[in-house]
Amino acid sequence: MTLKQTVYFMALVGAIAGLCCWAIQSWVGDLNVVPPSETAFTIVATALMGALIGGMTVVFADRWTSDRIVPLAVVAGTALGMLAGLIAGLLWFPLSGVTQASTSGAANAFDESLEWLIAGGLIGFVTGLRWFGVNRLRCVHALCGGLIGGGLGGVLFSFLGGNDAFQALAFMLSGMGITLGVVLAPVLLRDGVLRFISSADPRAQNKYGSPQQEWIIQTGDRYVIGSQGAERGMTMYARAVDVYIPDAMVAKRHAILFTNGKRFYLQQHPDNAGPHGQPLSALQVNRTNVTSPRELRDGDEIVLGQTLLRFSSRKQTPGGAVSAGASR
């Protein structure tokens, strides 16, 4: 899936989450299960939004970049999202005390924008935790993106949240704001892209060939590349490998793509190294075997097993050696 398609489908995830959130909270309100107070409404709405975005993001990510969807990971994402939404609702209550005393439209608009800004930031943060092992800054980027997207969604919510039709649209726009903020932050801040080109293994080719899969790379990232699937008990929220290649000739943990300063390097994973350092399964950059950390440059072609990937960088860097262990 290309970066543009990722942005599009994540926006769709946010819109569906927002619509479902509106439908569920309306149904709960009709049953009078929750007291019809502003505080209760806010907590229910933000918790539902967080749960739906958290769970659906995991489903979306694993559907396109893993071998299968892991129910435990979906449950973990849903629970973390719900927790973030609950905390956002509880934090909003004391912060909104200043504006609740005012009846002006501007004060109410600020109040609702603040509500969704907090929710967006926290939901974005827990969503970013899924990539914590790749780069800890991803959580910060997702937090900032969620704050911006949630705040903008909240502004729209304050103007559109009148009758049911406009309120449903407002929820959808708020959900889209959060997911777009989360996904656009790493896309805009990317330093490079790892792109699938082709594979002689039909599984990899069918999964990533059309459209060509792209993985975002940022300074500080550390990707484990391999064919290890989402085995039971391997992980609860994060994935076993960060770049999954379903190629029979790709080792479970085949290679590591990492950064040192502002340079990008590729090396064998220790699991793919023989007793004398030779690769057990093919790993090449521009038809040269990789036996030690190899700096990557814009346009470099990477062969893993029967699969060809291409590295693209936004900046050219001079060659250089590195002595950095990146085993996992």
pLDDT tens digits, 192-213: 899 999 999 999 999 998 888 9
The runs of H, that is alpha helices, within the chain are: 3-31, 38-65, 71-95, 97-100, 105-128, 137-160, 164-188, 202-208
| pLDDT, averaged across the chain | 81
Do 18 and 159 fall within a single domain?
yes
What letter would DSSP give residue 288? E
Tokens of 185: 């932050």
Residue 318 inside a domain? The answer is: no
Residue 92 inside a domain? The answer is: yes
Q: Which is nearest to 17 in space by CA: 107, 207, 156, 150?
A: 150
Question: Among 92-96, 234-238, 249-253, where is mean pLDDT lowest?
Answer: 234-238
Range of the domain at 134: 3-188
Do 184 and 263 fall within a single domain?
no
Q: What angle do CA 122, 75, 190 make, to 5 degrees?
A: 50
Compute CA distances 292 → 220, 226, 265, 326, whole Å. 19, 18, 10, 11
Do 14 and 140 fall within a single domain?
yes
Q: Is the pLDDT of residue 139 over 50?
A: yes
Residue 319 inside a domain? The answer is: no
Residue 207 zone, left/alpha/beta (φ > 0; ψ -120 to 50; rest): alpha
Residue 324 inside a domain? The answer is: no
Average of per-residue pLDDT across 175-180: 85
Burial of 229 (0-12, 13-18, 19+ CB in 10 A): middle
Q: What three-state secondary structure class fits 98?
A: helix
Average of per-residue pLDDT across 170-181: 83
| Main-chain dihedrals φ then ψ at residue 242, nearest 5 degrees | -90, -30
Q: Which CATH number goes with the domain that contains 233?
A: 2.60.200.20
Do 169 and 200 fall within a single domain?
no
Give the integer Cα–Cα distance in Å for 309 and 285. Answer: 10
**Spatial CB neighbours of 171, under 8 Å, sequence gap ≥ 6:** 18, 19, 21, 22, 45, 49, 157
Read off the pLDDT of residues 204-246 as tens digits, 9 standing for 90 and up: 999 998 888 999 898 888 999 999 876 644 556 777 788 999 9
Read off the pLDDT of residues 32-64 as tens digits, 9 standing for 90 and up: 655 556 667 778 888 888 999 999 988 888 877
Q: State CA 194 to chain mean position distance.
A: 16
Last residue of a domain, one of 132, 155, 188: 188
Do 86 and 125 fall within a single domain?
yes
Average of per-residue pLDDT across 283-308: 92
Do 11 and 92 fall within a single domain?
yes
Do 67 and 113 fall within a single domain?
yes
Last residue of a domain, one of 171, 188, 205: 188
**Spatial CB neighbours of 143, under 8 Å, sequence gap ≥ 6:** 121, 122, 124, 125, 128
Last residue of a domain, one of 160, 188, 216: 188
Residue 326 inside a domain? The answer is: no
Tokens of 190: 């990317």
Q: What angle do CA 134, 138, 139 make, to 5 degrees?
A: 115
List the beta bridge partners of residue 259.
264
Sign of the C-alpha dihedral, residues 61, 66, 68, 69? Answer: negative
Read off the pLDDT of residues 78-93 as tens digits, 9 standing for 90 and up: 999 999 988 988 887 7
Q: Quick check: 194 and 1 in contact, CB under 8 A?
A: no
Residue 19 inside a domain? The answer is: yes
Number of structural domains the chain divides into = 2
Q: pTM score, two decimals?
A: 0.80
Do 33 and 151 fall within a single domain?
yes
